[in-house]
Structure 1
Amino acid sequence: MSEPAAPHPPTRPGRTADGAGGGSGTRPGGGVRRRTALIAGAAGAVVAAGAGAAVVLTRRPDPEPARRAAEAVAAAWNESRWDAVTWDGPVTPAAVTDRYAAATQGLAAGGVTGPEVALAGVDSTRLAEGRARATYDVSWQAGPQRWTYRSTADLVRPPEGEPDTWRVRWAPSLIHPELTEGATLTAVREQPPRAEVLGRDGTPVVTDTQVVDVGVHPARTGDPAATAAAVAEVLDVDAAKLTERIRTAEPDAFVPVLTLRRTDFDAQQERLRPVPGVVFRAGVLPLAPTRAFARSLLGGVGEVTAELVEESGGRHVPGDRVGLSGLQRRYDERLGGAPGVLVQLTGGTGAAARTLFEVPASPGEAVGTTLDERVQNAADEVLATVGPQSAIVAVDVPTGDVLAVANGPATGGDRALTGRFPPGSTFKVVSTLALLEKGLTADEPVPCPPTFTVDGRSFRNFEGEALGETTFRTDFAMSCNTAFADLSSRLDDGDLAAAAARLGIGTGWDVGVDAFDGDVPVTESAVDRAAAAFGQGRTLVSPLALAVAAASVARGATVEPRLVVDPAPEGAAAPPVDLPAASVATLHELMRAVVTDGTAPVLRDCPGGEVFAKTGTAEHGQQVPPETHAWLVGWQGSTAFAVFVAEGRSGGSTAAPVARAFLERLALG
């Protein structure tokens, strides 16, 4: 048996096993020197000979695989797809998905959304050891602010022989640096009190009011139909629909029926309390003085809809109370303020909950309007008994302040501000202004035949009336259509649009909410001009637009209306333009004659002073004979107004009595 070989002496960095020298030769003592072969690997050493010495160089590990793994985490986090990450150890993408959801699901309830994640960098100092650490910038939307912080993830190189895809070690600290196993992130949302809507004198016209939500607890009623019928008898709701909602609800659900002002609830509670299953929730809502008070204008507040949550871009979450319509919706962000958010870490290895981020609630700001509570109440009270669609708008002559915007109880939207209706004979105020500038006088003879034909088109008076040979004063007071059709030949195609603009119609004013300022097209033919001269054809107005025109005549200068004054609408108000003094004086005379000797005698002895007015009966639709809307516009003292009643017989018989009732209520104070 041979002897074992003697071990080689130890080597030193930068030297061969033979010591200095590096070439081939014989060992001392006659042995043969062997050449030493060094093989360089991915991270191995390379021998470089020179000046009689060997130098060993180390290749730097490639950082790109680790960076790709770090970037994959950021992309997966942003897309909520944890299966796109290669995880280290036994953890699976499904397990990471579950752990992430358990740790963060409490954020959404408080309105915290996101996050947005970006890779901040990769620490490669331990790359040669197969380790790296990624740092992430994490940003959540928490109410009106961003909650930002940095978190980290450890990366490890795969074992030899496996694909060069670095792996990520799961830890709760990836979500937040202070998060431990079993801990969760939760958010609590605080909505600040909603700000008030103010009237012209600075006092609230919408303020927090005690309310009671009336509902049904399904488990407490053995007969849903009987409960629904009893509730419907008191609250005037649909019994069949309520029965179905009770039957399909969870047994312990609160099935809402109606929200009542506390005063209204107090008047009905003795009838509601004995009904099996009926339950109540007290609360507070921003409400106007009465249910009818400028309802379409002011709008309502209630629980946010799914559509509004989606549109809000994270500002609203389910359960928020928000503006749902009208001014409340238009200025919801101002009135509602900014919610407060408190983000806390709870559970896990830490004992007490601790706050990680806080955004204090910011109270809303009031919205100022020009509404006058006394004038608005008078308009609402009058329209409460008007069956068809109706509206009253009142405007302060010296300032243009809109004092009242009232719509009758019939459905049909905010007719007072956004309605688009033919003005009928109320537009004769505009036509007269244009004709006076062409030289017409009140005493000029202008016949009023039963019909008048223009280029083959025949025009007639209301119910075939005729005044025969008479003056323009009488034509205006009695609202003769054929006289105006005849006089339209004195006008150019742009004259009516220009006169309307001088009275504030179609000038593009902005009152801070949706409103129609009127549309008076330039006429295109003699027939078009004749129809437009007495308010038919293509001309459209809203009650607000006609109230502005009446105010302009009363003032003797163009009125630009104001409604929402804080915040003021963007853009400067147009300066008032004086109307020709002689034309104004004649219009005053003619509109007074409508009351004293014309189509609105019901206003002749109206309390509160002289009334100046113009009636209107506007044909519309395709029926024969056509249907008609009833109008009356005018002013008394410093208050101009427009009254509209859909499907009314005539301005004099339908709208004028409504105007009188309105003025009588104003006179009572």
Structure 2
Amino acid sequence: MGKRRRATERKSVGVGNVRNGNMRIGNTKLHPGVLGGVAAVVLCGVGATAFALSGGSGSGSGSGGDGSTVDEKPVASGPPTAAEVRTTARAFLTAWAEGDAARAAALTDDRAAAEKALTSYREDGHLTKTVLTPGKRSGAEVPFKATTTVSYKGKSKPLAYESELTVVRRKSDGRTLVGWRPSVLHPELKQRGDRLVTGEAGDPPIKAVDRDGAELTPAKYPSLGTVLDGLREKYGKKAGGKAGVELRVVRADSSKSSKSSESSESSESSGSSKKADAKSTPDKTLLTLSPGTPGTLKTTFSGSLQAAAERETAKRQRASVVVLKPSTGEILAAANSNPTGFNTAFQGSLAPGSTMKVVSSSMLLEKKLAGVDKKHPCPKYETYGGWKFQNDDKFQIKNGTFRASFARSCNTAFISQAKKLDDDSLTKQAQEVFGLGRDDWSIGVPSFDGAVPVQSDAQMAASLIGQGGVRMNPLNMASVAATVKSGTFKQPYLVSPDIDDRTLATAPRKMSGATAAALRELMHYTAVAGTAVKPMQGLGSDMGAKTGSAEVDNQKKPNGWFTAYRGDLASAAVVQQGGHGGDSAGPVVRAMLRAGG
């Protein structure tokens, strides 16, 4: 008697008519997209006909679609195949566009989060008549175009955008699924809990103006896009405007207090912020169904300096710059090479390298561990806490002074003093004199106030030269230069505290006049005879500067830093992977100081 075989009946559901590359569902003609070389378009809306996809059930695994038994097979492993990517992506996009949140979510690797987000897409976002057109597959990634309609209380407008999804394989059963992340629904959804919401905006629009009354817009000043969003969120109601009806991205943590929202951590940093869970990105308007009435909000920005900052950062990759007025703390300009990305200028959290030696020097001067023209060691190497430190190019200064060590940015001149310091000495100096790392700045939009954690042994020594756990951004380091110039810390801000009666942060103590004068002398000498000569050449006598470069793990070139003052201007810049600060960030700061007169 021959072996009996169990037959598996396979069924298919008709897709409709396919003619000349066009797909039809019922009597509706669809425009084809290309998905890995296969014509495919997903059209859905309320009442659209569901269809099965040829080549599988849409899950990416081989199970009988009618519930019949199949022979057991080994669990699949390895990257999804091209066919699996196509099938899984098409099935997910189909279910989403048809409004079947449960079915679409079941095709992801995080069913609960996906179903909640997909349901919110329709119910909170009021997005209907969705058409999803897949693009050409690249490995496991599938880009797609979305066109939909935003409808709310008799008003409607079309919305179009692009996104992408990635197909992954689940280890437990080998099934291929869409790797869930909020940005699949819309690229502006950055984290779990972010939502698209249509309705009357909670924050009225604002007309932000510069110090001379000229309007500030993202079109004219691209780097101010996220800043203006933040200003609207905090001051929209105070500015006297009237809210309109909008589709907005509402961040997951928007219920947090406005103060807690003013600190964040850069994803670019290997360090940490004390408020890493605080809101760092403001809500964002995607579409206006009916405009509100904006209120006018005056800022401290200088239109001419902001324009110069935009030009300088646009010329470079990964550059960020800030300009302050030392006498008041007013922020005059801030820009980033990627204006729509992370606001490194205000929220970055990066090791500042040797620009931190300004703060360290103030501490050594106050503790009488250094004097401008006193002898100071600068050997090739210095060991502390088990680490061997060296200078750039292993230079040394024999019988030199602290002035010479500062101007040439001698690392070992600072490391040699570590044994005479307490673990918290630098932390106290940064917090008490320069107002850094206290988490109390309130500039008007989210910002990171710097971090100088208490460390010990080699990490404490590394902090003296801006490595270890020290983290800063251009706003922080511009404030350091401004504090040296004015002799006292004045918290940076871009909206006057008179508007909302907030209290600006202050430093617990002021450095002595002698210490401030010594720092200005050191920074001036660095600008005329040290590592900052080239960027500062020809800028007059009332100026000073400090260069810096910060090593970053797995990065070929260090981040270049530069901070300086000239008259009543202070500026700092960082160029990530820029190399030496004088060569990379220095020209950016020079341009800003020249633009300010």
Taking structure 1 as the reference length, what is the TM-score of the superposition?
Answer: 0.50
1:404 Cα deviation from its structure 2 partner: 0.4
| Superposed counterparts of 1:238-637, under 5 Å | 287-288=218-219, 290-292=220-222, 294-299=224-229, 304-305=246-247, 308=250, 329=282, 363-386=293-316, 388-409=317-338, 412-439=341-368, 440-501=370-431, 502-507=433-438, 508-523=440-455, 525-565=456-496, 568=499, 571-575=502-506, 577-607=509-539, 610-622=542-554, 627-637=557-567
1:503 Cα deviation from its structure 2 partner: 1.2
Measure the CA separation in 2 of the matches of 1:453 and 1:202.
Answer: 56
Contact preservation (8 Å) 1:609, 1:637: no
Q: Indicate yes or no: 2:593 matched with 1:663.
A: yes
Measure the CA separation in 2 of the matches of 1:611 and 1:433.
Answer: 18
| Superposed counterparts of 1:35-50, under 5 Å | none
Deviations 1:394-415 (A, max 9, x none): 0111110000011114775111
Measure the CA separation in 1 of the matches of 2:389 and 2:201.
Answer: 65
Q: Could you say what secondary structure the match of 2:514 adopts? A: helix
Q: Could you say what secondary structure the match of 1:564 adopts? A: coil
Contact preservation (8 Å) 1:192, 1:363: no
1:615 Cα deviation from its structure 2 partner: 0.5
Contact preservation (8 Å) 1:428, 1:533: yes
The one-letter code sitting in structure 2 at the alignment partner of 1:438 is K
1:627 Cα deviation from its structure 2 partner: 3.6
Q: Could you say what secondary structure the match of 2:333 adopts? A: strand
Contact preservation (8 Å) 1:296, 1:407: no
Measure the CA separation in 2 of the matches of 1:396 and 1:414.
Answer: 20
Contact preservation (8 Å) 2:200, 2:246: no
1:204 Cα deviation from its structure 2 partner: 2.0
CA spacing shift, 1:475–1:298, aligned 2, 3 Å = same
Contact preservation (8 Å) 1:616, 1:652: yes
The one-letter code sitting in structure 1 at the alignment partner of 2:320 is A
Contact preservation (8 Å) 1:110, 1:189: no
Measure the CA separation in 1 of the matches of 2:201 and 2:383.
Answer: 70
1:588 Cα deviation from its structure 2 partner: 0.4
1:656 Cα deviation from its structure 2 partner: 1.5
The one-letter code sitting in structure 2 at the alignment partner of 1:628 is P
Match of 1:197 in 2: 208
The one-letter code sitting in structure 2 at the alignment partner of 1:203 is A
Measure the CA separation in 2 of the matches of 1:579 and 1:401.
Answer: 21
The one-letter code sitting in structure 2 at the alignment partner of 1:612 is G
Measure the CA separation in 2 of the matches of 1:597 and 1:369.
Answer: 37
Q: Indicate yes or no: 2:576 matched with 1:646.
A: yes
Measure the CA separation in 1 of the matches of 2:365 and 2:420.
Answer: 10
Contact preservation (8 Å) 1:438, 1:490: no
Measure the CA separation in 2 of the matches of 1:373 and 1:453.
Answer: 49
Contact preservation (8 Å) 1:448, 1:480: yes
Contact preservation (8 Å) 2:223, 2:339: no
Measure the CA separation in 2 of the matches of 1:478 and 1:406.
Answer: 29
Deviations 1:622-667 (A, max 9, x none): 46xx641000011000011101100011112222122223333333
Match of 1:109 in 2: 154
| Superposed counterparts of 1:129-168, under 5 Å | none
CA spacing shift, 1:328–1:412, aligned 2, 3 Å = closer
Deviations 1:177-202 (A, max 9, x none): xxxxxxxxxxx999999431121233
Contact preservation (8 Å) 2:281, 2:446: no
Measure the CA separation in 2 of the matches of 1:327 and 1:538.
Answer: 21
Deviations 1:555-576 (A, max 9, x none): 1011111113378466412356
CA spacing shift, 1:659–1:606, aligned 2, 3 Å = farther
Identity %: 33
Q: Could you say what secondary structure the match of 1:447 adopts? A: coil
Q: Could you say what secondary structure the match of 1:591 adopts? A: helix
Measure the CA separation in 2 of the matches of 1:499 and 1:368.
Answer: 34
Deviations 1:50-78 (A, max 9, x none): xxxxxxxxxxxxxxxxxxxxxxxxxxxxx
Match of 2:188 in 1: none
Contact preservation (8 Å) 1:379, 1:392: yes
Deviations 1:264-293 (A, max 9, x none): xxxxxxxxxxxxxxxxxxxxxxx55x2535
| Structure of greater Rg | 1
Q: Could you say what secondary structure the match of 1:631 adopts? A: strand
Deviations 1:306-365 (A, max 9, x none): 75499999xxxxxxxxxxxx9995698xxx9xx99xxxxxxxxxxxxxxxxxxxx97332
Measure the CA separation in 1 of the matches of 2:282 and 2:536.
Answer: 42
Taking structure 2 as the reference length, what is the TM-score of the superposition?
Answer: 0.55
Task: Could you tell me which runs of 5 or more consecutive residues in structure 1 were left unpaired when the two chains were aligned.
Answer: 1-105, 112-187, 207-286, 314-325, 341-360
1:299 Cα deviation from its structure 2 partner: 4.9
CA spacing shift, 1:311–1:586, aligned 2, 3 Å = closer
Match of 1:48 in 2: none
1:608 Cα deviation from its structure 2 partner: 5.9
The one-letter code sitting in structure 1 at the alignment partner of 2:583 is S
Q: Could you say what secondary structure the match of 1:205 adopts? A: coil
The one-letter code sitting in structure 1 at the alignment partner of 2:314 is A
Measure the CA separation in 2 of the matches of 1:531 and 1:460.
Answer: 11
- How many residues matched? 365
1:605 Cα deviation from its structure 2 partner: 2.8
Measure the CA separation in 2 of the matches of 1:363 and 1:562.
Answer: 26
CA spacing shift, 1:292–1:454, aligned 2, 3 Å = same
Match of 1:355 in 2: none
1:468 Cα deviation from its structure 2 partner: 2.8
Deviations 1:154-192 (A, max 9, x none): xxxxxxxxxxxxxxxxxxxxxxxxxxxxxxxxxx99999
1:528 Cα deviation from its structure 2 partner: 2.1
Measure the CA separation in 1 of the matches of 2:305 and 2:393.
Answer: 35
Measure the CA separation in 2 of the matches of 1:362 and 1:291.
Answer: 22
The one-letter code sitting in structure 1 at the alignment partner of 2:355 is T
Q: Could you say what secondary structure the match of 2:389 adopts? A: strand
Measure the CA separation in 1 of the matches of 2:497 and 2:565.
Answer: 27
1:499 Cα deviation from its structure 2 partner: 1.3
The one-letter code sitting in structure 1 at the alignment partner of 2:464 is A
Measure the CA separation in 2 of the matches of 1:641 and 1:560.
Answer: 14
CA spacing shift, 1:294–1:108, aligned 2, 3 Å = closer
Match of 1:134 in 2: none
